[in-house]
Homo-oligomer: A and B are copies of this chain.
Amino acid sequence: MIDRVAGATATTDEAPLALAQAISLSALPTGRIIQGDCIAAMRALPAASVDLIFADPPYNLQLGGELSRPDGSHVDAVTDHWDKFDSLAAYDAFTRAWLAEAKRLLKPGGAIWVIGSYHNIFKVGAAIQDLGYWILNDIVWRKANPMPNFKGTRFTNAHETLIWASTGEKAKYTFNYRSMKTLNDELQMRSDWEFPICGGAERLKKDGHKVHPTQKPEALLYRILLACTKPGDVVLDPFFGTGTTGAVAKRLGRRWIGIEREGVYIAAAEERIAAALPLDESALTTMQSPKAAPKVAFGTLVETGYLEPGTVLIDARRRFSATVRADGSLASACGQAGSIHKLGATLQGAPACNGWTFWHHEAQGTLQPIDTIRQTYLLATQP
């Protein structure tokens, strides 16, 4: 077991504490992973003793059969027993039970973060409101590299949702506004965050297989703890898994408590946290996500009215022409159709073509490449 300085030792020298609070702090098993059911484990902890709770509960995915990629390979889905519930109602009851225990553990000025997907997040959010928490923001984690929708049946599921809530409508809470603004190049931090999914060296593996099917990226926890806790605060994670919350808390000098049922995850988490190093300056700078050049799809110009469906485009030498259609595809007179790039390539018999510079439109008597419209759009919408 890992053990960091217990709360009592660190605080008894300071300002006097109420007896109950002193007992609470002395009993608080920070720097430890408690093995067992999260509701039972939370019941054993003292009330009003935790500053922040981060929870990544089971999503209750309810997947159908097997799924294969177009190349025939098999998709390794989340089929673990801990994600199985008998019914929507059973999941709902479980959700309300652990959220109620969590509320009891939070100090009056504490707060909770919960992450989920559309499978469960609406149930979670509704329960949070019903239990008297006060939602402060919902945050969208935009995945830089999500798994595609292999069957072409829906939109690519490219994000997850987090809810940040205080203990009540009038409750205080911690929000390090300046830290967030600094982290975001002196612009207010928005409610949509982009991070890659957890992979590479950060992804815990054993015998070549991932230890946990849903390990979260440390960057996500880093931003949350930096935004909503102070050094020394106690962070509880009731679904600890492989300990991302503990590792990041240690790096940032926050105390932590983990609750986890599965021994395999606990073993991996302990090893991982033991190896975690306190933050140095360079780690902070790597957190600053480089601002990617904004991409604009041709279809966006059609949707937003910068270019009307029905507009006729021609190439610079006026050899080919095509009409813009409602979905951002182009149709030529000879019946061929495709994206600006594909149709340009087809008509020229070329393997590829940059449609942005190939296609032009008539404007003030001159031919303008459609790329100028994209520049206009970017100027109008970028801060």
Contact = CB atoms under 8 A, between A and B. Distances in A.
Interface string A128-159: 11100001111110101110110011111111
B118 A125 contact: yes
B129 A123 contact: yes
A325 B283 CA distance: 4
B137 A129 contact: no
Nearest to A70: B354
A233 to B, nearest CB: 14
Contact of A124 (B122, B142, B161, B226): B122
A353 interface: yes
Contacts of A128: 122
Looking at A155, A190, A303, the one whose CB has the most chain B CB atoms below 10 A away is A155
A349 to B, nearest CB: 10
B129 A122 contact: yes
A133 to B, nearest CB: 11
A263 interface: no
A326 interface: yes
A156 B190 contact: yes
Interface stretch (A31-39, A102-110, A181-189): A181-189
A117 B146 CA distance: 24
A221 to B, nearest CB: 10
A363 to B, nearest CB: 17
Looking at A144, A286, A303, the one whose CB has the most chain B CB atoms below 10 A away is A303
A103 to B, nearest CB: 16
B72 A285 contact: no
Interface stretch (A4-12, A208-216, A335-343): A335-343
How many copies of the shown chain assemble into the complex? 2
A381 B185 contact: no
A153 to B, nearest CB: 6
A366 interface: no
A315 to B, nearest CB: 12
Nearest to A149: B188
Nearest to A217: B304
A145 B304 CA distance: 14
A135 B120 CA distance: 11
Interface in A320-342: 323-329, 331, 337-339, 341-342
A155 B195 CA distance: 17
Nearest to A323: B282
Looking at A190, A327, A351, the one whose CB has the most chain B CB atoms below 10 A away is A327
Contacts of A168: none
A347 to B, nearest CB: 12
A302 B382 CA distance: 30
Interface of A: 68, 72, 88, 117-119, 121-126, 128-130, 135-140, 142, 144-146, 148-149, 152-159, 161, 163-164, 175-186, 188-192, 195-196, 202, 217-219, 222-223, 226-227, 252, 279-280, 282-287, 289, 295, 297-300, 302-305, 309-310, 323-329, 331, 337-339, 341-342, 348, 350-353, 380-383
14 contacts: A118-B125, A122-B122, A123-B129, A126-B126, A137-B154, A152-B188, A153-B177, A156-B189, A179-B329, A183-B327, A226-B326, A282-B323, A286-B325, A286-B329
- Give me the 6 closest cross-chain CB pairs, A-B, nearest first: A122-B125, A183-B299, A283-B309, A179-B327, A158-B190, A118-B138
